[in-house]
Amino acid sequence: MKSVAILEAANQNLARIIAESDSLQVVQAISNRVQGSSLMDLLVDDIHVLLRDFVDSQVCYVCRTANVAAHGMARLAVSSSIDFCWYEEPLNLIVEAISDVA
């Protein structure tokens, strides 16, 4: 999970979000709210600031094998020069990932 995704959710004026990460260390750092000066601490501080803008927000750990859709979206984002955003119909890769799990 990157703060860029949370920033984009704020830019879209979303009131409630659930952010998922396959990094337990990141989720624990966000949940524990420990202040520090490392690069990780600075990222966590940025995330806390961004999360204040939402009516409700959750940051959850999801193991990598259960995070296939997010991994596919991240791979697509890195390989594409355009932004993807949807509100009603999910991307095919999400539908396929969910279908594979079900």
- Average pLDDT of 70-89? 75
The alpha-helical segments, DSSP class H, found in the chain are 3-11, 24-32, 39-51, 68-79, 92-101
Candidate from 10-19, 22-31, 66-75 with smallest mean pLDDT: 66-75
For residues 49 and 4, membership in a common domain is answered with yes
- Average pLDDT of 33-61? 87
Candidate from 42-46, 47-51, 94-98 with smallest mean pLDDT: 94-98
For residues 56 and 72, membership in a common domain is answered with no
Q: Is pLDDT larger for residue 1 or for residue 73?
A: 73
What is the DSSP secondary structure assignment for residue 90, as one 8-state letter? P
What is the Cα–Cα distance from 47 to 42, expressed in whole angstroms? 9
Backbone angles phi, psi at 57, to 5 degrees: -145, 145
Cβ atoms of 64 and 22 within 8 Å: the answer is yes
Backbone angles phi, psi at 76, to 5 degrees: -65, -40
Domain hosting 91: range is 67-102
Domain count, the chain: 2
